[in-house]
Structure 1
Amino acid sequence: MKIETWLTPNAAGESERTRASVVVVIDVLRATTVATTALSAGAKSITTCGEIEEAFAMKTAAAPDNVPLLCGERGCQPIVGFDHGNSPGEYSPAGVSDRELVLTTTNGTAAIQAAEDCDHMWLACFANLSAVIDRLVRWHSANQENDAFVRIVCAGTNGCVTTEDVLLAGAIIAMCHQRLADSPRFYDGPIELLNDSGALALSAWQHCITHDGVNSSETLAERLKLTQGGKNLIAANYAGDLVDCGSIDVFELVPTRDQRAPARFVAG
């Protein structure tokens, strides 16, 4: 499996970007966790956009019997006039089941737009980690004979690298190796890292396990408190979201893009 990793959405200039077969977008805190939670709660779809005005326009243009819920944040805080913020705990079956959602966030939806040039796009978080690995392994089995590759895109925060997204990128790389390799030695296995960012993410995740003692959802949530994204949420009084975002393998679905512009995701 060939894997290219972007530690931020602007990791490569436009002229340097090659179309990927699969893009996996990561925004652990909190957009991809929210999207996975909402679809698991029965939401019909999640359409993403970059600007608040676009979200309001989508709601205005919708049919009277199918008005979407507006969801998202700016600077960690809910947006005035929106139905939901960006906390996973807000997305219960009672609130979103059988509803279409429009989502715009500071970093996550921008990453989705930056990485849109691909055949398939999936959203990953710790809450659906094993489901993402299953999907990647199946894709790899069907595409071993061509030059297709996977691009992992970390949303980051305001253009800067964030540890929580890097850790998940590393976990995805490590778990793909575990599923596909005969040898515990990473560089003896079938994973080909197309840039050094993937190696950095893998090292960060391995360090997290061996030195930080992360071996459960509880210890991961504690580790997320130390990241810049975690500190931002704590300062904004959303420390409770770190528990939801640090929960591992809670859901079995992968948000899957079924429309490119605007990007729309359904349960996959």
Structure 2
Amino acid sequence: MKIETWLTPNAAGQSERAPASVAVVIDVLRATTVATTALSAGAKSITTCGEIEEAFAMKTAADPENKPLLCGERGCQPIVGFDYGNSPGEYSPAGIGDRDLVLTTTNGTAAIQAAQECEQMWLACFANLSAVIDRLVKWHAANPNEASFARIVCAGTNGCVTTEDVLLAGAIIAMCHQRLADSPRFYDGPIELLNDSGAIALSAWQHCITHDGVNSSETLAERLKLTQGGKNLIAANYAGDLVDCGSIDVFELVPTRDQRSPARFVAG
């Protein structure tokens, strides 16, 4: 399996971005966790956009009998006039079941836009980690083409690398190796890292396990408190979201793009 990793959405110049077979977009705190939670709670679809004005325009243009719910944040805070913010705990079946959502966030939806040149796009978080690995392994088995590769895209924060996204990228790489390899030694194959960012992410995850003692959802949530994204949420009074975002393998679905522009995701 060939894997290319972007530690931020602007990791490569536009001219250098060859279309990926699969793009796996990560925004642990909190967009991809929210998307996974919402679809698991029964939302019909999630359409993403980059600007607040676009979200309002989508709602205005929608069928009066099927107006979408507006969801998202700016600077960690809910957006005035929106129905929901960006906390996973807000998304319950009673509130969003069988509804279409429009989501715009500071970093996650921008990463989705930056990664759009791909055949398939999935959203990953710790809460659906094993489901993402299952999808990648199945995709790899069905795509022996030498040119096929998966791209992991970390949303980061305001253009900067964030530890929480790098850790999940590393976990995805490590778990794909565990599922596909005969040897515990990573560089014995069968994962081929197409750039050094993947090796950096893998090392960060391995360090997190061996030195930071992360071996459960509880210890991961504690580790997330130490990241810049975690500190931002704590300062904005959203420390409770770190428990939801650090929960591992809560959901079995993977948000899957079924429309490119604007990008729309359904349960996969």
Q: TM-score range by the shorter chain?
A: over 0.9
* Cα distance in structure 2, aligned partners of 1:233 and 1:162: 13
SS at match of 1:55: helix
* Cα distance in structure 2, aligned partners of 1:171 and 1:221: 15
* Cα distance in structure 2, aligned partners of 1:64 and 1:14: 39
Residues 49-87 of structure 1 show CA distances to partners (whole Å, capped at 9, x for unaligned) of 000000000000000110000000000000000000000
TM-score normalised according to structure 2 size: 1.00
Which residue pairs with 1:71 in the alignment? 71
* Cα distance in structure 2, aligned partners of 1:145 and 1:197: 23
Residues 28-65 of structure 1 show CA distances to partners (whole Å, capped at 9, x for unaligned) of 00000000000000000000000000000000000011
Number of equivalent positions: 268
Quote the offset at 1:146 in angstroms.
3.0
SS at match of 2:120: strand
* Cα distance in structure 1, aligned partners of 2:65 and 2:172: 40
Quote the offset at 1:101 in angstroms.
0.1
SS at match of 2:147: coil
Residues 15-39 of structure 1 show CA distances to partners (whole Å, capped at 9, x for unaligned) of 1111100000000000000000000
* Cα distance in structure 1, aligned partners of 2:58 and 2:145: 42
* Identity in percent: 91
Residues 122-176 of structure 1 show CA distances to partners (whole Å, capped at 9, x for unaligned) of 0000000000000000000011233100000000000000000000000000000
* Cα distance in structure 2, aligned partners of 1:243 and 1:189: 34
RMSD: 0.4
Which residue pairs with 2:134 in the alignment? 134
SS at match of 2:24: strand
Select between 81-90 and 145-154 the one with higher mean Cα deviation. Answer: 145-154
Quote the offset at 1:189 in angstroms.
1.7
* Cα distance in structure 2, aligned partners of 1:206 and 1:144: 28
SS at match of 2:141: helix
Quote the offset at 1:254 in angstroms.
0.1
* Cα distance in structure 2, aligned partners of 1:44 and 1:227: 32
* Cα distance in structure 2, aligned partners of 1:213 and 1:107: 28
5+ unaligned residues in a row in structure 2: which ranges?
none
SS at match of 1:238: coil
Residues 168-212 of structure 1 show CA distances to partners (whole Å, capped at 9, x for unaligned) of 000000000000000000000200000000000000000000000
* Cα distance in structure 1, aligned partners of 2:158 and 2:37: 24
Quote the offset at 1:226 in angstroms.
0.1
SS at match of 2:158: coil
* Cα distance in structure 2, aligned partners of 1:16 and 1:257: 23
Quote the offset at 1:214 in angstroms.
0.0
* Cα distance in structure 1, aligned partners of 2:214 and 2:148: 33
* Cα distance in structure 1, aligned partners of 2:146 and 2:169: 23
* Cα distance in structure 2, aligned partners of 1:260 and 1:145: 23
Which residue pairs with 2:81 in the alignment? 81
SS at match of 2:80: coil
TM-score normalised according to structure 1 size: 1.00
Which residue pairs with 2:255 in the alignment? 255
